[in-house]
Amino acid sequence: MRRIKNTVGLLMAAVLLQLDATAQDLHFSQFMNSPLTTNPANTGFIPEADYRIGIQYRSQWTSVPVPFKTASLFADAQVFRNKIENGWVGLGAVLLNDAAGRGNLRSNKVYGSIAYHQMVGYSSLISAGFNVGYAAKSIDVTRFTFDNQWNGKFFDAGGPSGEAFLRNSTTSYFDMQVGMNYAYFPTENVYFNAGLSVQHINKPKETFFINSNNEVPRRYIGFLNGSFKLNDDWIINPNAYYSNQARASELVFGGNAAYNLVGDGSKVIFGGAYYRWNDAAIAMIGFEMNNLRFTFTYDATMSNLSRFNNSNGAWEFSLIKNGYYNQYFGDRNMKRQSMCPKFF
């Protein structure tokens, strides 16, 4: 009985966090594979290629009655490379969908982003960008029961809840993010990249209640990536990510290693491990072939929540396609040289 009460309490807390505007935004364990949601300055910052298209899906807390599911679709590209000396512009867009909890809390967001990238010397790059978008959320309050609906024997879901919900239980707002990045690549075998961004810089109003002025608090994100080519067979990639929003924070760090299966680097396998502080251990595996990369991660819960979900935290996958523009110099088709260590 105590276990049942604790589980019910856990689910109620999750619902309240989702209804509260101070709850942390959606997130991905594969932050390195979700560039536009991590920092708008990542738009068009593609060390491996000229454009990319990606999808990502996450299912969290699958052992609770209604798991949380998040999906994204993004695309970005470099433009004006031949118009700006030692620089270019990045253009991109991202679609996000999130469904959470028994109340079917749904979030749909669309953002368009732009960034400017400028080389500094021969081994540094500075980037700045922003995005603007529209977010819409809805919730089905008929799926909840409240204390006012208790009739002494059972909860009467058809009775008045006593809560001042908006009539259609929907909310929407205009949103804006800004960010800056710095990249350093002194040799063909060494690469660093760090960035800072602020989401919801306009602090939009978000509420499902009448006469409420709740605002979405600003979210601050910092990340650090590295890539080191050890030899023709191995490249290691350490990563770290930190996010803070209101009273919620997240720290993820770890790395992955890529192994070259063939001489030209057209087929690569990789694996790695990450840790979300005080929350979960994350295992990663993946495969890349002809600039199409598939990555799968699994979060094993290590916090007190593991007593209720049997350590079944979340699974997530991403699929990213990188591509090059055709650039012609005379009769020769050439690809832009990458800033990031590559096997070929």
Q: CA–CA separation, 21 vs 247, rounded Å? A: 12
- The mean pLDDT value for 92-120 works out to 90
The four Cα atoms 329, 331, 335, 337 give a dihedral, to 10 degrees, of -50
Please give the model's pTM, rounded to 2 decimal places: 0.84
pLDDT at 161: 58
315, 62 contact by CB (below 8 A): yes
Query: Is residue 226 in a domain?
Result: yes
Is a pLDDT exceeding 90 seen at residue 222?
yes
pLDDT at 144: 67
pLDDT digits (tens, 9 = 90+) for 44-66: 999 888 999 999 999 986 656 66
pLDDT digits (tens, 9 = 90+) for 238-258: 999 999 999 899 999 999 999
pLDDT digits (tens, 9 = 90+) for 77-91: 999 988 999 999 999
Query: Is residue 339 in a domain?
Result: no
pLDDT at 342: 87
According to DSSP, residue 233 is labeled S
Query: Is residue 271 in a domain?
Result: yes
pLDDT at 213: 81
Query: Residue 70: which pLDDT band, with cuts at 50, 70 and 90?
Result: very high
Is a pLDDT exceeding 90 seen at residue 151?
no
pLDDT at 310: 63
* Total number of domains in the chain: 1
Is a pLDDT exceeding 70 seen at residue 156?
no
pLDDT at 19: 40
Query: Is residue 136 in a domain?
Result: yes
Query: Is residue 343 in a domain?
Result: no
Q: Give percent of the chain above pLDDT 90.
A: 60
pLDDT at 63: 59
Residues 6+ apart with CB under 8 A from 37: 28, 72, 74, 94, 96
Query: Is residue 148 in a domain?
Result: yes
SS3 15: helix
pLDDT at 99: 85
Q: Which domain holds residue 83?
A: 2-334
Query: Is residue 84 in a domain?
Result: yes
Residue type, 170: T
Query: Residue 97: which pLDDT band, with cuts at 50, 70 and 90?
Result: very high
Q: What angle do CA 242, 94, 13 make, to 5 degrees?
A: 50
Is a pLDDT exceeding 50 seen at residue 210?
yes
Compute the mean pLDDT over every residue in the chain, rounded to the nearest whole number. 84
pLDDT at 101: 64
Q: CA–CA separation, 238 vs 35, rounded Å? A: 16
Q: Are strands 312-323 and 51-60 parallel, antiparallel or unpaired?
A: antiparallel
Q: Give percent of the chain above pLDDT 70.
A: 76
- The mean pLDDT value for 165-186 works out to 87
Query: Is residue 50 in a domain?
Result: yes
Dihedral sign computed on CA atoms, order 327, 333, 339, 343: positive
Query: Alpha carbon of 154 to those of 136, 147, 151: distances in Å?
Result: 34, 10, 6
pLDDT digits (tens, 9 = 90+) for 310-334: 666 799 999 999 998 875 333 344 4
pLDDT at 329: 36
pLDDT at 331: 39
CATH code (residue 225): 2.40.160.40
Is a pLDDT exceeding 70 seen at residue 1?
no
